[in-house]
Structure 1
Amino acid sequence: MISAFRLSGNRLEPLDASQALERADWIDLLAPSPEEVAAVARLGLDIPSADEMEEIEPSNRLFRRDGVDYMTVVLPVTREVPLPRVRPVSFILAPDRLVTVRHHPLRAFETFLANGEVPVSRDEAPAPEAILLGLMDAVVGRMADLLEASGRALDALMASIHAPGTGPGVNVLRGALASLGREGELVAQLRQALVTLERALGHCAASRAGVESSTEVLRFLQLEQRDIAALAVHADFLSARLGQASEVTLGVINLDQNNTIRIISVVTALFLPPTLIASIYGMNFAFMPELGWPLGYPLALGLMALASWGTWRYFRSKGWL
């Protein structure tokens, strides 16, 4: 799907299919068809395919060619997937337009389109750069929301793990451990996305250093870089908390399993003395005088009960029960 927009003041105006792409300040390609890629390529831009975007080495994701900046970052995709994943998104910043190439829907883009405003107007910065700043701001805001949501989920999980009273069961803890793993994967993916986004902003700022018309753009890029640095610290903090929560959950599960094993061991020990007595009288010796006693059977039963009671009393005195 191809979408085209033109910037009027500080608001985006969509262009319909009948209007030429040459008039667009921003062209957004979402899982484009070969025909759509060819239409944008006729504007003199190289449009990478999905495989090329996936295979681009981290060191080759940012480059400038013929006055056009090609920047590929990875952004989180959290909907309709079992586990959070990051997928590549390419930003092609030309002097007269911005082209974005993505193959998955992204909430940040939807939020930016719903808002329809850019942080700076065309009077303060060229239209493609103003739109890029708006997109970057939406992406950073989206990742901040994801980190906050992960923090709230972690708080809820920790509250369930440290529940008062008898505490949660093993099945609940196993579910909590799976949820912790998913949140940990999300935070790791966000941390990776922040690294690539920070490098892209640095590349964009470096290519505009010394350009008088880019003063407002550089100021905004510096603000975004500071926000990304703060989010990176937050992501590292959440990673440490998630590691601690996982260790606590595993510890509680081990304690519960150890308690079960302890109970089984005590029950086994209670039956050892009666088993010993029964084994003695089950031996096939020709001369066992107790076998001829009228009270031999009640005596054996009494010895078994007395031995079990004595073992139980001993365990109770040691605090093992």
Structure 2
Amino acid sequence: MALVDNGIYVKGHRTGNPATLDETYELLRQRDGMAWIGLYRPDASELQSVAKEFSLHPLAVEDALTGHQRAKIERYGDTLFVVLRPARYIDTEEVVEFGEVHIFIGPGFVVTVRHAENPNLASVRRRLEASPELLCLGPEAVLYAILDEVVDGYAPVVAGLENDIDEIQDQLFGSDPHVSQRIFQLLREVISFQRATAPIRAMLEALQAGADKYHVDLELQRSLRDVLDHAIPVIERAASFRFLLENALTVHSTLVTQQQNDEMRSLSEASLAQNEETRKLSETALAQNEEVKKISSWAAILFAPALIGTIYGMNFTYMPELDWPLGYPLALAAMFVSGFILWRVFKRRGWL
């Protein structure tokens, strides 16, 4: 059954607890008081029954039935339609959980339609029933109490978000690799919270502006101003949280870029050092190669005379030109000429 709580109030006191919607309508006609009907996820037939009895606008009824509405206030003749997005912060998961409540306010009736457990309207009803002097001010007093409950519920959300943002600021300069993911997730929650809270200010100001026209009690007007005074800091804090997290993303991006630049600089310096070492090794290898060329050249130059001298130094009996008087000078000349030719060849090639 979608009917959660149902009461008939006369001069601020509860005088009836009808079990069905039809009984509620009948008692309301008999006692000429105020009906406060609390519905939780009603079906179309239940909501259409209420709409028919209190002449609710079809567009407002459609919004209340489908849910997933933004926070807003709309007036249809003598009926006021208000959508509120209460919130609570789940610190373990770092998420903001949003509820949704639709409120119809009209002459002699209040209809609340909830699509989530939050807010706890039972506590609001108990608080009002404990203050008959406030409840006797009519449906506007119920709207004030619900607004006050929702806005007060934003304070723990602000505290939870603020605590997590402080932790993120500490993480930001601690080289935590997961901080960017946490910033993105928290920024998403802050934006959703901002969307839920930002319309509250305009809604309360609109209620204040129409207070005289719709003869709202002066004391109730002061209470609405008090709710507005509590709502403004919440709205401003939500805006500042978004600004801080967007700046944190910028700072994180800058730090990551700087770290990457430092790593690239270190790699470049290491590469330069390696190149310098390679250059020195190459120079050493070239120098050694030049030395090898010189040694090899002189070895080849000396090899030809040594070969000739070795052949002629053999003690054979029969040897060409052994008894030839010019043999010795010719052998020396051959040694010199072969060495000179080799020296010229090596010199021309740059080995010497």
Q: What TM-score, normalized by structure 2, do the two folds share?
A: 0.63
* Distance across 1 between alignment mates of 2:231 and 2:144: 14
- 3-state SS of paired residue (1:168): coil
- The Cα of 1:293 is off from its aligned counterpart by 9.2
Deviations 1:92-112 (A, max 9, x none): 111222223343443xx12x4
Which of 107, 111, 114 is the aligned partner of 1:95? 107
Deviations 1:93-135 (A, max 9, x none): 11222223343443xx12x434631398343343432222221
- The Cα of 1:279 is off from its aligned counterpart by 6.3
- 3-state SS of paired residue (1:64): strand
* Distance across 2 between alignment mates of 1:93 and 1:81: 36
Structure 1 position 117 matched with structure 2 position 131: no
Query: Residues 13 and 132 of structure 2 are in contact (CA less than 8 Å); yes or no, is this contact kept in structure 1?
Result: no
Structure 1 position 201 matched with structure 2 position 210: no
2:48 maps to what in 1? Answer: 38
Query: Residues 44 and 65 of structure 2 are in contact (CA less than 8 Å); yes or no, is this contact kept in structure 1?
Result: no
2:160 maps to what in 1? Answer: 149
- The Cα of 1:176 is off from its aligned counterpart by 1.8
- The Cα of 1:68 is off from its aligned counterpart by 0.8
The alpha-carbon distance between structure 1 residues 253 and 132, as it changes in their structure 2 partners (threshold 3 A), is same
1:48 maps to what in 2? Answer: 62
The alpha-carbon distance between structure 1 residues 278 and 213, as it changes in their structure 2 partners (threshold 3 A), is closer
* Distance across 2 between alignment mates of 1:13 and 1:152: 46
Letter in 2 for 1:180: I
Which of 138, 155, 170 is the aligned partner of 2:149? 138
* Distance across 1 between alignment mates of 2:93 and 2:40: 18
Letter in 1 for 2:102: S
* Distance across 1 between alignment mates of 2:187 and 2:65: 27
Q: What TM-score, normalized by structure 1, do the two folds share?
A: 0.68
* Distance across 1 between alignment mates of 2:49 and 2:284: 96
Identity %: 17
Structure 1 position 168 matched with structure 2 position 175: yes
Aligned length: 277
- The Cα of 1:220 is off from its aligned counterpart by 0.8
Deviations 1:175-201 (A, max 9, x none): 222222233333333333233222222
1:180 maps to what in 2? Answer: 183
* Distance across 2 between alignment mates of 1:13 and 1:104: 28
The alpha-carbon distance between structure 1 residues 282 and 82, as it changes in their structure 2 partners (threshold 3 A), is farther
Letter in 1 for 2:269: V
- 3-state SS of paired residue (1:126): coil
The alpha-carbon distance between structure 1 residues 207 and 275, as it changes in their structure 2 partners (threshold 3 A), is same
Which of 250, 253, 258 is the aligned partner of 2:256? 253
* Distance across 2 between alignment mates of 1:256 and 1:233: 34
* Distance across 1 between alignment mates of 2:5 and 2:251: 51
Deviations 1:260-286 (A, max 9, x none): 222222222221123345667999xxx
The alpha-carbon distance between structure 1 residues 280 and 208, as it changes in their structure 2 partners (threshold 3 A), is same
Query: Residues 77 and 104 of structure 1 are in contact (CA less than 8 Å); yes or no, is this contact kept in structure 2?
Result: no
Higher RCO (Cα < 8 Å, 6 or more apart): 1
- The Cα of 1:149 is off from its aligned counterpart by 1.2
In angstroms, what is the RMSD of aligned CA positions?
4.0
The alpha-carbon distance between structure 1 residues 10 and 145, as it changes in their structure 2 partners (threshold 3 A), is farther
* Distance across 2 between alignment mates of 1:14 and 1:152: 46
| Structure 2: 5+ residue stretches without partners | 29-33, 296-352
* Distance across 2 between alignment mates of 1:27 and 1:261: 68
- The Cα of 1:151 is off from its aligned counterpart by 0.8
| Structure 1: 5+ residue stretches without partners | 295-321
The alpha-carbon distance between structure 1 residues 278 and 208, as it changes in their structure 2 partners (threshold 3 A), is same
- 3-state SS of paired residue (2:7): strand
- The Cα of 1:34 is off from its aligned counterpart by 2.0
* Distance across 1 between alignment mates of 2:68 and 2:215: 35
* Distance across 2 between alignment mates of 1:12 and 1:268: 85
Alignment of 1:290-301 (within 5 A): none
* Distance across 1 between alignment mates of 2:194 and 2:69: 20
Query: Residues 4 and 16 of structure 1 are in contact (CA less than 8 Å); yes or no, is this contact kept in structure 2?
Result: no
Structure 1 position 62 matched with structure 2 position 76: no
* Distance across 2 between alignment mates of 1:136 and 1:186: 22
Structure 1 position 237 matched with structure 2 position 274: no
The alpha-carbon distance between structure 1 residues 269 and 16, as it changes in their structure 2 partners (threshold 3 A), is farther
The alpha-carbon distance between structure 1 residues 237 and 63, as it changes in their structure 2 partners (threshold 3 A), is closer
